[in-house]
Structure 1
């Protein structure tokens, strides 16, 4: 499919083959390449308030991760390995190479940040710079889980339950679940306008989407932790920017910079006055931070 992106002004939509996985990509701009990776329950449309400005000076690619948006939703496979962050990172690298980008900066929010972290370890020659939004490392968050975190991030423990329990419960009222999730994480009323919510709901209720999302979380609680443990002594070599919401769970639960200094050699960053979805809640502050970091 090709056409204009209704949510990212000036971007064109493409379906790119990544070793048999169809990945929806939106592209615009010229100059140094920049990859944008969304989180749950968003799609690439989450970047609508910052991607056009970034594309004024860069070749910007925004993807729907496998299992999300209009990308393929394969079966989870043994140990949920098809939704390991390693597999999702491989998709993104394959797309960037197909578009002619062998080395690039990457920005990841939420799940996309976890994919970007794995990418920086598995493909260090591809990742020039890395920015992660409102996350601490996955293994750190699981290892330091307490009642407060488990209460506020209940879906980390709900979505990983064996199929089809969470899938069937969400299917009973997906709009209520999605709206409750988004409103619970944002600290900026109106930051997800009705037309953007409608797009998220369209994708969330598409065939196979909820199961794929559950597989993403099941992988994070299993095979991803195995991969992280195997790389326990390795650190990300690329410069890393961590941004987080001062009013969100991650910012109020962890020393975010310290958690990333345990995983990377060159770390900087700061909090923004918002909740979880920085690029929707505080787009101008995010743009300023990225322009300073990316150069």
Structure 2
């Protein structure tokens, strides 16, 4: 018999403004401990040295994580021109240098090649699995890591500023699975000067923005007091990107038991993935068909 997990039955989203120097999983563990939550997970890893929006799902909200993971995200980052590193960021060893420094105009002209549906090779020091092992582990062991290119949707990549000849600040909006480090590496190669990420900050993720985030100091200060509950966003925030339908009272009961339930639709069309609400609370996520929602995920709050 499985051992029952201890903790509070608390559901919702807590947005952390992650500092540099801590892993995303360590943030999740700290939040789960501080809030005495039974279950927690995050929607999109940030590298340890990256900062910014890290959305933590608690309890039943963990069932909505895929919708935030799949949502567009935006990053502000600085590229160090003239140097390539083995990790494609400043944490790695410099493996090549170049004295060429492109003009602002050259950089701006190169950016459209990285917009739209592109193919991207993730960094060798990444969590991508190769034959069941993480690429970064193989790279650390000195193995020659070969990672296949993967599709990535980049909605926008824009020039922000040029602090000096060696650095350029950019902002990217992209879909799931994008590596900013790979963008910096590939842009440097295209410009002929090499490059790697110097600083990286996620400024929004789906519906969550930097202004929604609280610091790890706040998490520490209010740990185990219940005060962190005031910063929770509702579970429903994680469903912001898909249509909402309204369940009847009888339909809500049926869906909670895993059966199709009667709903009223405002903007969902036949076959759409949608979520059903009853009295403002999420009941289920599923497929909308002919006035009913066929649930594949049910919320137990």
Q: Shared topology, TM-score over 0.5?
A: no
> Higher helix share goes to which structure?
1
TM-score (norm 1): 0.24
Structure showing greater radius of gyration is 2
> Higher strand share goes to which structure?
2
